[in-house]
Amino acid sequence: MAYAPEGGGSHHWHVTDQDGGRHFVTVDDLDNKDWLADTREAACEALTLAFGTAEVLRRVAGLEFVVAPVPTPGGDVLCRLSDRYSLSVFPFLAGHSFPFGPYQDDKLRDRAFDMVAALHRSTHSVLNLAPRPVIRYGGHDDLESFLSDPGRPWEGGPFSEPAHVLMSSHRSDVAELVAGFERLVDLTDSARRNVVITHGEPHPANLMWVEGHLQLVDWDTTGLAPAERDLSLVAGPLGQGIERYQHATGHVVELTLITLYRLRWYLDDLASAVRLFRNPHVESADTRRWWEGMAPRLEQLPAWLDRLA
């Protein structure tokens, strides 16, 4: 076993078995899945449904780009290690992925749109299995706690005090944005009733070139939702690629829903930073990266408020 410090939100190992087979093992912290559910049991159930959906999409729907968990002999896609942690096993892929962030390569974006369109057209195969994720962002409770009691000091670690000062200087704008997000959720209720099976996070860092084929990894966010949940992360800032998707599926894209899901992603980043720095932490490459990213994220607040207005 070799620890693999890759990605975020889960722990990973490269494992070679006694026969020389290679595997990618993921351990999920069920306390760090509040965007899925409020309790460990509910988060484990949602994660099981998501991974089970991915396995059916590959095995039954024939979507070869889906990197699904390897089931146990009994068919389970997830094992509970303890009350807090779960474990899943995936194939080990020898290939290369892409940097996290917006799509910079139009050809890669087109390939991603083609995969997303194929995924959405396979909804019928998992309609009675897939979870239905609610629109929520990680760190929601911590952000709400800060907004309701901004004077409460943060004493969790080395970045707590400066992060608190920085967030406090933007509190009114953050509160206005959160309220605007909740209004947008209410206003789009009817538009969000038309659902397909979505990946949830089809950004470039979840794509891998493996032996000449493009693969889509990280299926813990999969679920039935509007197509725009995926499209918000693939389309360019001016809507690049949307016409390609509409031609492939016949679905007329709702730009308001694109805004909704992009705002959810932005609030997830802000709230996750609040959760990190309000609670015990140490100085590391990860926590420094989060701290250095806070000010640039907060500088985007006026643009988001203008967009909502």
Quick one: what percent of the chain has pLDDT higher than 70? Answer: 100
pLDDT of residue 169: 97
The tens digit of pLDDT for each residue in 163-185 reads 999 999 999 999 999 999 999 99
pLDDT of residue 33: 87
pLDDT of residue 238: 87
Q: Is the pLDDT reported for residue 7 higher than 80?
A: no
pLDDT of residue 136: 87
pLDDT band of residue 35 (cuts 50, 70, 90) is confident
Average pLDDT over residues 56-73: 96
Q: Is the pLDDT reported for residue 138 higher than 90?
A: no
Q: Is the pLDDT reported for residue 63 higher than 80?
A: yes
Q: Is the pLDDT reported for residue 283 higher than 80?
A: yes
CATH number belonging to domain 2-147+151-308 = 3.90.1200.10
Question: Any bridge partners for residue 22, and if so which?
Answer: 16
CB 287 within 8 A of CB 281: yes
Q: Could you please report the per-residue DSSP string of 184-239? A: HHHHTTTGGGS-EEE-S--SGGGEEEETTEEEE---TT-EEE-THHHHHHHS-TT-
The tens digit of pLDDT for each residue in 73-113 reads 999 999 999 999 999 999 999 899 899 889 999 999 999 99
pLDDT of residue 32: 85
Cα–Cα distance measured from residue 80 to residue 123, given in angstroms and rounded to the nearest whole number: 28
Residue 205: half-sphere exposure toward Cβ, Cα within 13 Å: 9
pLDDT of residue 54: 97
pLDDT of residue 6: 78
pLDDT of residue 112: 96
Burial class from Cβ neighbours inside 10 Å (0-12, 13-18, 19+) for residue 20 reads exposed
- Give the list of residues 6+ apart from residue 139 with CB closer than 8 angstroms, or none: 34, 268, 270, 271, 272, 273, 274, 275, 276
Quick one: what percent of the chain has pLDDT higher than 90? Answer: 87
Q: Could you please report the per-residue DSSP string of 71-139? A: PPTT--S-EE-SSSEEEEEEE---SEE--SSS---HHHHHHHHHHHHHHHTTGGGTTTTS----S--TT
The tens digit of pLDDT for each residue in 201-218 reads 999 999 999 998 999 999
Q: Is the pLDDT reported for residue 8 higher than 80?
A: no
Distance of CA 108 to the CA centre of its chain: 19
From the list 36, 103, 91, the residue with the least C-alpha distance to 65 is: 91
